[in-house]
Structure 1
Amino acid sequence: MDLALLRTFLTVHRAGSFTRAAALLGLSQPAVTGQIRTLERQLGRPLFLRQARGVTPTTIGDELAHRAAPHLDALIEIAGSGLTGESGTTGTLHLAGPPEFTSLRALPALTPLTTQGLALRASFFDNAEQTLESLAAGHHDLAIATARPHRGPLTATPLCDEEHVLIAAPRWAARLGHSVLRDGHLVLEQLPVVEVHESLPLVSRYWAAVFDSKPAAAGAVIVPDLRAVLECAAAGAGLAVLPRYLCQGALERGEVVALLDPPVPPLRTYFLVARTGTLALPPVAQAYEWLLRAAVDW
């Protein structure tokens, strides 16, 4: 079996599209389609179901990808290393994830690997679905997402849980007094809200978990960066719901205060995701393990 055909097959399997696979391989779409048809004729079985938007692997296609991917990826890694036999991590790792978590947690944790020859490239996505689609398409080696992938050639491991905290500037907390404990679901009617989106995703999730209700107010400040949300809240713009890791320093310095201390704080799970088979590649495998070890302290 031609290894070039297998490489094209795996790229299509991971990308979910002949068009995206062609772009990744530097080939024309007809060339990719022709190679897949050739492989299907050799095997005597269809490997993909053609759909309006991309392709879906058949059972035979999934089985072939599962069996071939680790070996083909290992051969590509050997060819790329030039059989030097040198130890350590070399190459470039492309990482995708949420901007704040990736900036404050993942990248600092991976930085020591750069002294061993690993180059890091990061891309930020606010949406978990976009993150996973980009990873599946082959644009990145690893991804950190707030949702577990339910389909496609992806392998996910829970990385850590993120605790969410309801915060505001001290003057707002003093104004509320004990009313927040008695009538917590009414807080939004008294305080303006700082959020990352008009739909108030963090506040809505907090309200559902703690108060079993929906927030009743619109955002006073909407800014698509949690670090900016923290700065605005500390300046007195209103209440906000933030990950504890991001606002812990401001809490300790008294720049903001926690308005509530619920018995079971709302949590959000981060997942470390890779394409199936790529964990056989040394740079990906080492970064994967490095992040899992670092996350024990997160």
Structure 2
Amino acid sequence: MSVKVKDLLEKVKVDLIYGDDQLLEKVIRTADISRPGLEMTGYFDYYSPERIQIIGMKEWSYLNAMTSHNRYQVLRKMFQPETPVIIVARGLDIQQEMLQAAKEKGIAILRSYTATSRLSGEISSYLDSRLAERTSVHGVLMDIYGMGVLIQGDSGIGKSETGLELVKRGHRIVADDRVDVYAKDEMTLWGEPAEILRHLLEIRGVGIIDVMSLYGASAVKDSSPVQIAVYLENYTTGKVFDRLGNGAEEIEIAGVRIPRIRIPVKTGRNISVVIEAAAMNYRAKEMGFDATKIFEERLTQLINKNEVAND
């Protein structure tokens, strides 16, 4: 994935102060952001010009205290051709020397009325998600009751059909067939569709359908966390499946581990309803309500009661 300055202009609340189409095509290659401090005093030993440079109130005030000549010399050294963009926060005035240095080095200037720390956080979050390394997995990603559920299984087992049934039941589809996932942070996995497959679903015998056109905007979602994986397996005699819910299994995707549930598929089973129940049960466990533990406690109480009665 790559991000251009024009993408930032569209996604973050900033105004274009200086820059043409060519400058807006500059590629942002790192999610790291720089707030130049020591550089303004002339210390450039560890300066990273390839980062977005944000000028907040402190930086702006320090520059304002300089003479026009010194301000221009510092900014001219700070702004380099590889610098993707300069962003001035808090709606501060653009100093003439800053504009001149940006024009000389070919760098766009954007301005935001957002507080510096908040602006930095918004940009970092956006860049982290866009520049994170993607991993493609086969499956259907659904938003079920606000839970991101990745449905996987052997080819032809009915993943897309199950996704369509879940859409009809009021849930939202994020991606079909190919899901691009990335680690948003060390604990959070995020998924989105490949652009060519966005809002599309393939049903064998019918072909490709546009879910948004057929079922409306409420039936689709552009991205979602991936919190639980459901693996559909053909039911065969003798194959053992977890019946109590205490057989914890996990899979690792993009360095993040998420729980996985194996569900047997056979004629007569309503898989979409089972997946709904699995999503709600996972959410209940996250909130501290574990039906398996309740059953085990009741079973232990019953055994103890019977032992006392036999004595």
Task: Return the TM-score normalized by structure 1.
Answer: 0.24
Structure with a larger share of its residues in helix: 1
Structure with a larger share of its residues in strand: 2
Higher relative contact order (CA 8 A, sep 6+): 1
Task: Return the TM-score normalized by structure 2.
Answer: 0.24
